[in-house]
Amino acid sequence: MFLIKNLSRISPTSSSIVTRFRNSGSFTLASRFCTAQETQIQSPAKFSNDVDQSQYSGLAPTREGEKPRVVVLGSGWAGCRLMKGIDTNLYDVVCVSPRNHMVFTPLLASTCVGTLEFRSVAEPISRIQPAISREPGSYFFLANCSRLDAEAHEVHCETLTDGLNTLKPWKFKIAYDKLVVASGAEASTFGIHGVMENAIFLREVHHAQEIRRKLLLNLMLSDTPGISKEEKKRLLHCVVVGGGPTGVEFSGELSDFIMKDVRQRYSHVKDDIHVTLIEARDILSSFDDRLRRYAIKQLNKSGVRFVRGIVKDVQSQKLILDDGTEVPYGLLVWSTGVGPSHFVRSLGLPKDPTGRIGIDEWMRVPSVQDVFAIGDCSGYLETTGKPTLPALAQVAEREGKYLANLLNEIGKANGGRANSAKEIELGAPFVYKHLGSMATIGRYKALVDLRESKDAKGISMTGFVSWFIWRSAYLTRVVSWRNRFYVAINWFTTFVFGRDISRI
């Protein structure tokens, strides 16, 4: 972003500036940024206001003597694991994402109620792959990808200005040698009216911040004079739609918060606040019946009410189920799974049966050269005969690790440049082996299922030991020692002093 902004100081018609770059030994860096039709540099800021949008700036194709360029779209589990494993002696790495960090999603629900602080689950990309902030040909761009031109080996992007009225977003292009689409998925709303306007999802740090602020606001408003009893009950009713691991874990964290902190610090409203979990089928469908029954029993003990039903309409203060039941709410959290994003749907690439980008066993998009897709945005084509893998962090992480190793082998075989890997033997295809599932349900209880499937033989357990295993496992999976320290300290201070209820 800094480089792009500073390019606005360079005049497109001034050859003397380019000469100064050459004389100073910096011409290679400057020449990477050029317009699509010219070899000179054009101001992105000027383009966004009064320049034809077909002639915007960007990163030009790599030249002889330069390392091949891998462009990664996204900074989720798959993209970050790939960037961590890519050999930066072989490739320059360019990441394009609307966020400059990776979110450790298994612990995101804990931040909503103050068990953990937000920075504990956010890992900066520059720490995951230091070359992005050190190497002259590697960059991170805070932007969204809007279009893929596979024939020209280019992606079209638009900067993310975060709603600043004083700064208009501008467009730019990036030429790639290898492209990895790891843009993830978006929350599924199933076309239900009012979900986008009234519900809060739980996929990003800003979602957790919004949930925390609204929860604490409702607690404080419900304790002020002049509020009716009905409005007080509505404000203090927290509804979670979706009985998957995310919805169940958030319900468990919320019930813990109510039992341990609300009853001490908001004693005037402690009897009015409650949680309802709505699911159309069975909660935690990936677990077996014994573990599901245990989870329902423990959640009921914690005060979580389980309702089986399908949401038909969502309004600003209530939702309506398929049987006509009206459920008032003060906080609505939507966690019903994920589906293909608008960007993925807009790509003219083959799709799998669920609408995700179709790939083969080596993570390649077969219809185009040098394009790969990993994570929640991709799925096996029907021609492979393989089922679509679940949208889980462990799947995305291992796909990223596999593709990083594959690209490294391609680079060592001199196939890193565009259109140069057609004859290279790719080796063994990707094989996914499920390592098990875990979910915390509050009150120092959790479910741990280490079987490959819920019908297979293996270890499955519940209770306090499972909770200890859950915490230990995720503490070791946190990306950096810095964040492991943050998480451990947060858990300790929460245990000793309680959760932080400051509304900041």
What tokens appear for 299 in the block? 């959640």
Judged against a pLDDT cut of 80, whether residue 22 lies above it is answered with no
Mean pLDDT of 309-315: 97
Task: Return the SS3 of 94.
Answer: strand
User: Where does the pLDDT of residue 7 fall: very low under 50, low under 70, confident under 90, or very high at 90 and above?
Assistant: very low
Judged against a pLDDT cut of 80, whether residue 19 lies above it is answered with no
Nearest-angstrom CA–CA distance, 401 and 424: 20
Mean pLDDT of 217-246: 94
User: Where does the pLDDT of residue 41 fall: very low under 50, low under 70, confident under 90, or very high at 90 and above?
Assistant: very low
User: Where does the pLDDT of residue 496 fall: very low under 50, low under 70, confident under 90, or very high at 90 and above?
Assistant: very high
Rounded to a whole number, what is the distance in angstroms from the first to the last CA of the chain? 28
Task: Sheet containing 437-442: give its strands across.
Answer: 437-442, 445-449, 460-463
Q: What integer pLDDT is reported at residue 457 of this predicted model?
A: 85
User: Where does the pLDDT of residue 372 fall: very low under 50, low under 70, confident under 90, or very high at 90 and above?
Assistant: very high
Mean pLDDT of 433-445: 93
Nearest-angstrom CA–CA distance, 170 and 172: 7
User: Where does the pLDDT of residue 31 fall: very low under 50, low under 70, confident under 90, or very high at 90 and above?
Assistant: very low
Q: What integer pLDDT is reported at residue 18 of this predicted model?
A: 34
- Whether 339 and 188 have beta carbons less than 8 Å apart is answered as yes
Across the chain, which distance is largest between two alpha carbons, in Å? 76
Q: What integer pLDDT is reported at residue 56 of this predicted model?
A: 66
Cα–Cα separations (whole angstroms), residue 63 to 32, 95, 154, 169, 177: 9, 20, 15, 29, 11
Strand partners, 141: 96
Judged against a pLDDT cut of 90, whether residue 42 lies above it is answered with no
pTM: 0.86
Mean predicted lDDT score pLDDT of the chain: 88
Which residue is associated with the tokens 């800003």? 206
Cα–Cα separations (whole angstroms), residue 272 to 230, 249, 418, 496, 499: 10, 22, 62, 26, 20
Nearest-angstrom CA–CA distance, 460 and 193: 39
Closest among 259, 254, 276, 265 to 220, alpha carbons compared:
265
Q: What integer pLDDT is reported at residue 43 of this predicted model?
A: 35
Q: What integer pLDDT is reported at residue 185 of this predicted model?
A: 95
Q: Which amino acid is at 398?
A: R
Count how many residues are written for the chain.
504
User: Where does the pLDDT of residue 456 fall: very low under 50, low under 70, confident under 90, or very high at 90 and above?
Assistant: confident
Label each residue of 404-461 as H, E or C: HHHHHHHHHCCCCCCCCCCCCCCCCCCCCCCCCEEEEEECCEEEEECCCCCCCCCCEE
Model confidence over 98-149: pLDDT tens digits? 999 999 999 999 999 999 999 999 999 999 999 999 999 999 999 999 999 9
- Whether 387 and 380 have beta carbons less than 8 Å apart is answered as yes
Judged against a pLDDT cut of 90, whether residue 327 lies above it is answered with yes
- Whether 174 and 155 have beta carbons less than 8 Å apart is answered as yes
Judged against a pLDDT cut of 80, whether residue 341 lies above it is answered with yes
What tokens appear for 97 in the block? 């994402």
Q: What integer pLDDT is reported at residue 504 of this predicted model?
A: 80
- Whether 305 and 252 have beta carbons less than 8 Å apart is answered as no
pLDDT above 90 as % of the chain:
77
What tokens appear for 448 in the block? 């741990």
Asked which of 6-10, 117-121, 126-130, 438-442 is least confident by mean pLDDT, the reply is 6-10
Nearest-angstrom CA–CA distance, 349 and 434: 28
Burial grade of 5 (CB within 10 A; 0-12, 13-18, 19 or more):
middle
Burial grade of 441 (CB within 10 A; 0-12, 13-18, 19 or more):
buried
Model confidence over 373-399: pLDDT tens digits? 999 999 999 999 998 899 999 999 999
Judged against a pLDDT cut of 90, whether residue 48 lies above it is answered with no
Judged against a pLDDT cut of 80, whether residue 1 lies above it is answered with no
Judged against a pLDDT cut of 60, whether residue 321 lies above it is answered with yes
Cα–Cα separations (whole angstroms), residue 277 to 250, 254, 307: 10, 11, 6
Q: What integer pLDDT is reported at residue 52 of this predicted model?
A: 47
More confident residue, 77 or 387: 77
Label each residue of 331-355 as H, E or C: EEEECCCEECCHHHHHCCCCECCCC
Continuous segment of H or E residues that includes residue 95: strand 92-97
Residue ranges of E strands in 268-381? 274-279, 304-308, 311-314, 318-321, 326-328, 331-334, 338-339, 357-359, 371-373, 378-380
Q: What integer pLDDT is reported at residue 20 of this predicted model?
A: 34
Asked which of 21-25, 105-109, 495-499 is least confident by mean pLDDT, the reply is 21-25
Which residue is associated with the tokens 């293996």? 458
Model confidence over 146-186: pLDDT tens digits? 999 999 999 999 999 876 677 888 999 999 999 999 999 99
Q: What integer pLDDT is reported at residue 264 of this predicted model?
A: 86
Judged against a pLDDT cut of 60, whether residue 29 lies above it is answered with no
| CA angle 123–129–135, rounded 5-degree value | 135
Nearest-angstrom CA–CA distance, 276 and 239: 5
- Whether 503 and 220 have beta carbons less than 8 Å apart is answered as yes
Q: What integer pLDDT is reported at residue 164 of this predicted model?
A: 66
Continuous segment of H or E residues that includes residue 174: strand 171-175
Task: Return the SS3 of 299.
Answer: helix
Task: Return the SS3 of 142.
Answer: strand
Q: What integer pLDDT is reported at residue 452 of this predicted model?
A: 85
Cα–Cα separations (whole angstroms), residue 223 to 68, 265, 372, 446: 61, 11, 54, 33
Q: Which amino acid is at 282?
A: D
Q: Within its chain, how far is the Cα of 225 from the centroid?
A: 41
Nearest-angstrom CA–CA distance, 350 and 357: 6
Q: Residue 127's CB: how many other CB atoms inside 10 A?
A: 16
